[in-house]
Amino acid sequence: MTERDQVKGELANEYDEHKDTCAKLLAARNEVARLEAELETLRAGSLTAYLQRQEDWSSQTFGQGLRTRGIIEHIKKELAEVLANPHDLSEWVDVVILALDGYWRHGGVPETIMDALNAKQEKNFSRFYPKPESEDVPSEHIRTEKSELETLLGNKNRPQDWRLKSMRQVKPKSIVRGIGP
């Protein structure tokens, strides 16, 4: 056997070892992706299943109508209970349940609730919000085009957690990006 044949054989063996390792890594990567997708489905599925059960119960108990005013009035009562005892998490859950009831009664379907929540979250993250004056004052997003505000600010590439320290030339109060509903 020549030296060339020996080197060729060693390279072939090395290639086979690396090929097996690469195949195992690829299989592991695919399995991780499959498990992540399955986990996401389970997470979304649990909310989907919950919303379907809630819709079935609510329509049987309260009827099929939109119930817009009734739901809003009930939410107001629940919010009063939250104000009276903000650490009672069950009162916050009551508000969520009523909001979800309004969601399906006005055309939302259980299979799209996570998509709707994620889309709204992304929209909120991309907005600009004034720095809250106090914890008892609502902080609504600034109603201007994002690009307009970024142009005024002079930088379109600010990080997600960017906070403006001084905005006297644009607004008298500080502006915070991506905070608040």
List, for residues 33-76, the tens digit of each pLDDT value: 888 887 777 666 688 888 999 999 999 999 999 999 999 999 99
Q: What separation in angstroms does the CA of 49 have from each of 37, 58, 63?
A: 17, 14, 20
Residues 131, 134, 136, 137: is their CA dihedral positive or negative?
negative
Closest CA to 118 of 53, 56, 40: 40
Q: State in Å, rounded, how far the first CA of the chain is from the last one.
A: 75
- With a pLDDT cut of 70, the percent of the chain lying above it is 77
CA distances from 55 to 75, 81, 97, 102 (A): 17, 24, 10, 10
Give the pLDDT score at 58. Answer: 96
Contact by Cβ (8 Å): 71, 134: no
pTM of the model: 0.58
The model's pLDDT over 95-117, given as tens digits with 9 standing for 90+, comes to: 999 999 999 999 999 989 989 99
